[in-house]
Amino acid sequence: EAGVAQSPRYKIIEKRQSVAFWCNPISGHATLYWYQQILGQGPKLLIQFQNNGVVDDSQLPKDRFSAERLKGVDSTLKIQPAKLEDSAVYLCASSYLAGGVTGELFFGEGSRLTVL
Amino acid sequence: DQQVKQNSPSLSVQEGRISILNCDYTNSMFDYFLWYKKYPAEGPTFLISISSIKDKNEDGRFTVFLNKSAKHLSLHIVPSQPGDSAVYFCAASDTGANSKLTFGKGITLSVRP
């Protein structure tokens, strides 16, 4: 079974530029998550999708971050304009369960963003 | 406000000995707890979980203990192996319809050969 795919693995941009990350979850997984992991901290949920609807985006900085999940499968996370504090690893995860977190999340390898 | 706390940033143990990784939480609504393991340049992978209706769950060398009254859980690895060297994240959630995982900062475990 293929895992969660993410791209690009690494991205270096200057502040005020824009960047987009892509995620393809495990086939059949209804729920998709984007997490931000800053060095030395644990992953922080940015947004959670249930199929193609947003379940939770309370910690997404909506003035600069946006995310979509078209057709309930792939997802993109965009940052525009980027700030220095956005330097982090952006982790995509998916889970089979339709609602609630009582099972495991499957994470991709992450996209490491460096903002100069 | 950090709802899941892993107060020790690192732990070093000898191969063959027991590793004990601790985690505390503050949100009394949390009723499901998981441990994830992360190697460098990889995403976290699920290790073991426990529901609040239990106080212990065992899977091979890994055992998680939950003390609800103290809002504390611990992961025991026996015996520890060099391949266990990684960052371990404690995570917690409630089981509501729109629940989400809240992670701790992680503990870096080093197992010395």
Categorize the per-residue pLDDT at B17 as very low, low, confident or very high, splitting at 50, 70 and 90.
very high
How confident is the model over B54-77, as pLDDT tens digits? 999 999 999 999 999 999 999 999
B101 contacts chain A (CB < 8 A) = yes
User: What stretches in chain A show pLDDT beneath 50?
Assistant: 99-100
Considering just the CA atoms, what is the radius of gyration of chain A in Å? 13
CA angle in degrees (0–180, nearest 5) for A39-A103-B17: 60
Per-residue pLDDT at B2 = 81
Contact A100 B95 (CB under 8 A): yes
**Pair A58, A40: CB distance under 8 Å:** no
How confident is the model over A30-63, as pLDDT tens digits? 889 999 999 989 999 999 998 888 988 999 999 9
Residues of B whose CB is below 8 A from A43: 44, 89, 103
Per-residue pLDDT at A71 = 83
Alpha carbons A91 and A107: distance in angstroms, whole number:
7
Give the largest Cα separation in chain A, rounded: 39
Per-residue pLDDT at A52 = 82
> From residue A34, how far is each of A50, A82, A100, B105 by CA, in Å?
12, 17, 16, 17
Average pLDDT over residues B1-14: 92
DSSP state of B82: G
How confident is the model over B22-55, as pLDDT tens digits? 999 999 989 899 999 999 989 999 999 999 999 9
Query: Sign of the CA dihedral B2, B8, B13, B18?
Result: negative
Alpha carbons A41 and A85: distance in angstroms, whole number:
13
Structure tokens at B13: 């143990």
Q: Which residue of B has its CA nearest to A9?
A: B41
Alpha carbons B28 and B90: distance in angstroms, whole number:
16
B49 contacts chain A (CB < 8 A) = yes
- Burial of residue A66 (number of CB atoms within 10 Å: 0-12, 13-18, 19+): middle
More confident residue, B94 or A19: A19
Contact A44 B103 (CB under 8 A): yes
Average pLDDT, chain A: 91
Average pLDDT, chain B: 93
Contact A91 B44 (CB under 8 A): yes
Query: Is-cis flag, bond preceding B79, omega within 30?
Result: yes
B103 contacts chain A (CB < 8 A) = yes
Strands A44-50 and A53-56: antiparallel
Alpha carbons B50 and B48: distance in angstroms, whole number:
7
